[in-house]
Amino acid sequence: MKGIQGILIAIGLGLAGTILSWFYLERLAGREAKVVFIGIKPSAAINVGDVIRAEHLAPIEIPRSRVGNLESVAPLWEYRSTVVGLPSTRTFQGGEIVLQQDLRSPGMRDLNDKLGKNEVAVWLPVDPRTFNAARVNPDDEVSFVVPRAGLPNSPTPVGTAAPPSTSDNSEIIGPFRILEIGTRTGRTEVYRATGGRTANEATITVVAKLVGGQVDPMTGQLRGGTLEPVAERILEVIRQTKSQGLQVLLHPKRKAD
């Protein structure tokens, strides 16, 4: 009988220990740092193509120890403003976490989507020592500073002698609308929130207009023609300087009338 009582006591103590351990782990999980992701409110429903609105979203907290690789595939709650306004690529039910693959980011769009029928994209090298790419975004307008022809450090055509020194005046060429910075076609925070990895941003892709030429009746696209003078001039500088990086001037945003 005493042996049975001892066994029962041992079992009771084991159960008590298990329960106490469970309560301890639950309290520990409550104090553990959380990672907050973008989720869909329980009352919300989003269909394919619907624009995601702020009122659709709710934070979903997950303890750091249980996140796993979710951080690499889902944008964090702090980036929710970059999700608002984007079209959904699938149907969402309440309580789901938004994943990067569920979004159609403006930072991932093809350049063709941003070009008009009489426009082309032109890639230009910039001087990374004087250009802060993080503070400039696609759709901003920029000009480029080059030494004025015939002055010190001015572009010298290949195979010709350098011009004589006279002054330090510079020439400003532009403005141009930016399509892409490096491989980024959207704002930095949007690009990162949707899984983009910042790469070399020592090139800028700008819009140049075509003049003349003929419109293709089948596609509506302009064929032939020549580049507008400002684009011809900056490309001439690039050729003459053997693709040296350009100095960039950022223009203020245009205000609506």
**What is the CATH number for 86?**
3.90.1210.10
Among 102, 132, 161, identify where a domain stops.
102
Q: Is there a domain that residue 257 lies in?
A: no
Q: Which domain holds residue 65?
A: 33-102
Among 57, 79, 102, identify where a domain stops.
102
Compute the distance between CA of residue 24 and CA of residue 219 in angstroms, rounded to an integer: 69
Average pLDDT over residues 35-50: 86
Same domain, 85 and 41: yes
Q: Residue 163's pLDDT band (boundaries 50, 70, 90)?
A: very low
Same domain, 72 and 152: no
Q: Is there a domain that residue 6 lies in?
A: no
Same domain, 97 and 123: no
- Predicted pLDDT at 108: 45
Q: Which string of DSSP letters, residue by residue, matches the chain?
A: -HHHHHHHHHHHHHHHHHHHHHHHHHHHHHHS-EEEEEEE-TT--B-TTPBP-GGGEEEEEEEGGG-TTGGGTS-BGGGHHHHTTPBBSS-B-TTPBP-GGGB--GGG--GGGG--TTEEEEEEEB-TTT--GGG--TT-EEEEEEEPTTSTT----TTSPPPPP----EEEEEEEEEEEETTB-S-HHHHHHTT-------EEEEEEEEESSEE-TTT--EES-EE-HHHHHHHHHHHHTTSPPBEEEEPPPPPP-
Q: Looking at the 3D structure of the chain, how many domains does it have? A: 2
Q: Is there a domain that residue 110 lies in?
A: yes
Same domain, 121 and 75: no
Q: Is there a domain that residue 5 lies in?
A: no
pLDDT tens digits, residue range 90-141? Answer: 788 888 888 877 765 444 456 777 788 788 899 999 998 899 888 888 889 9
Same domain, 210 and 157: yes
Average pLDDT over residues 1-25: 53
Same domain, 115 and 235: yes
Same domain, 95 and 111: no
pLDDT tens digits, residue range 49-102? Answer: 788 889 999 999 888 888 888 887 888 898 888 788 877 777 888 888 888 777
Q: Is there a domain that residue 45 lies in?
A: yes
- Predicted pLDDT at 139: 86
Same domain, 143 and 207: yes
Same domain, 63 and 110: no
Same domain, 83 and 158: no
Same domain, 157 and 171: yes
Among 76, 102, 128, identify where a domain stops.
102
Same domain, 133 and 241: yes
Q: Is there a domain that residue 174 lies in?
A: yes
Average pLDDT over residues 3-27: 54
Q: What is the mean pLDDT of the chain?
A: 75
